[in-house]
Structure 1
Amino acid sequence: MYKTGGIAFDINANRTNGRTTNIQFMTQDTGSAKLSFSFTKDGTPLPLSAVDAKIVLLYADGSFYKKSLTITDKMNGKAEYVLSDEELKHYGAVKAEIKLYYTNGQALATSFFTFSIAKTLEDQNIIPTADYYIDDFETLKDGINHTVEEISRTVEELQKKFADLEAIETKEGAQQKADAAEEKAKAYTTKHVNDQEKHVSAADRKAWDAKETPSGAQDKVNLHANNTEIHVTAEDQAYWDDMTRQFKAHNYNQERHISAAERKTWNGDATYANIMLKNGAAAGTRTPIYAKWGPLILLRGHVRTEPEIIFGSIPAEYAPAGGGVYTVPLSGTGGTANLIIYDNGDLKIKYPDPADSSKMGGGYYLDVVVGFQKGGTA
């Protein structure tokens, strides 16, 4: 039993500002809030073979979801999406958009549409927290790499600024240079005036007498030293010293930065191993595999098994603490089922929909991304 909201799209280049639908779900529509889509082009059904159809959802509280549609009729251009229990908690107006990604590299984006989720009486006190969910592994990976690159550029810019700072002459350094120059000038003058082998004329003597006195030279040195436009003040120097200290503390903070080995791991491809199948389960069109990639556990493949039995397992250290439940599609029917990951690593299929055994022979797709959680459940 579903609450189904139907939406039709005609793929063309006509300008549109989106549409507001009358579709409204409730926060208690557990497993029954379904969006049904039909696609046409030039008045005829748009085939959806070789297409990865995605739905992008922006909720009123800022939560963002990007998930795959279930294609129910490839030849006649029909697909559907069932909102998860977590998504139904984000009540209010919802903006949505469908994107079609073709295997030949082409992509189509539909005009956006809106629907709403209303709170039931028993949910009046719920306060949802903003979520950000993308089931596209490559998009998530690109986002992480982009963040690492921004951090690296920021550190390089700071290093350049501090290199320029070290080249700035301090007040004390300028004073030392001025004092040394004055001493050299005095020594040269004394030696030259006392040279009895050389004679000077009255004009020369007058010129020598007009030379600047030590006190006058000192006044000029003081004026130069106190010029804050070309020298750093003590207050400025203290500020830059503090900035240098903070930069060094930040630069060596191993909790905030990743090592070269960690960067190599994040930038590298995940290494997969086969899921150990049990109790008569068999690989379908793709071998069931798993891998740990940073903070994520990745499951891929296609399995043929009966529901309600342990059909396989992964190492217990790869299982999320306390286990987890994830929605997977049935092969060939457009239905869904729950994939249970127990905390010991065992895997089971439960609650297939439709439950008709004659429609479950196609198996189940295990393409899920699981957040890895260390530690206990409390």
Structure 2
Amino acid sequence: MIYNNAPLAFEITSWTKTNIKTAIQFSTQDIDTARLIFSLTKDGVPLPLSAVTGKLVMFMADGSRFIKNVEIVDKVEGIAEHVLTSDEIKHYGTVNAELNLYYANNQAISVHKFSFNIDRALVDTDIAPIAEYYIDDFEALIAKVNELYDEAIATMEELRQKFSDLENIETKAGAQEKADAAEANAKAYTDVHANNKTIHITADERTTWNAKETTTGSQSKADKALGDAKAYTDTHANRMDNPHAVTKAQIGLANVSNVEQAAKIDFDTHASDTIKHITADERTSWNAKETTTGAQKADKALTDAKAYTDTKVGQLTSTWTTIPLINGAVTDATVPLRYRTKNGGDELQINGGFKSIRNDHRDGIAES
């Protein structure tokens, strides 16, 4: 089921007597879909609604009054709701409402007074709702019946007093006399009226006037009315100021953006701009220049890159190579005697140490 929901959060405090004007607006076409949802709290926590009967009182703009039971949808979280019926939603205008809670122990709380609006849909403009009085409460209904009973008793007492004096009751003879006098007066008035030539016309007068109206007055009036209607229609048709205030949504253009478009003359001016645009001949000529001149620039860049790479490669340090020893010489275990080349072989580096088998001293060779 689809509903047009209107949530209302009410805190049970002493401010409950303040009338809250909400922004809720239903339509007379929200039949069985206009739903008021009440979230009730007390001291910041949900108000339990066990053993509670909620009643919604609504005073409509046309004087109708409804007292309806609200539905408790969540007793723990304190949530109740009411869906306006087809009889209630047709009473358009401002609705003043109040939610009241009645407990089983005879306690009662006035939760909040609030108001909302029911807008009359265009399709309902010719519908005038009749004032209604509805009470969804048996005890209140009994009170209303007792009220009507008291009114009926009071009316009977008034009638009894009016007929208590039998002498004032009209007799048959007296009534006949008054009827004959009234008939005579009416006949006299009718005769006088029938003979009044000032307010009546003869058949010949009517024929003459009708002929004049047909040949002269009617044609003239018809021609003038036709001319006025045509002039008004032409003037209205030529108006360009949207006299009926038609919106984009009404003609199916609600999703069209109001994007400003350039005029055709602006497009033509841009297309003819030879500074911003190039021709096919200019493009061919520039491409040819790029082929000869650009290629020369590319060759030079390649040569420079190769020279730079060769220089850097020549500066790379080769790996160390241990020097083989003869005549019983032993290389140093910590820093063995070794060599390497640098700068492409232009530089030789030697470091490390070795010792002879004839003594126990180390002959160190510094790096060169």
Indicate whether the TM-score tops 0.5: no
Larger Rg: 2
Name the structure with the higher helix share.
Answer: 2
| TM-score calculated relative to the size of structure 2 | 0.42
Name the structure with the higher strand share.
Answer: 1
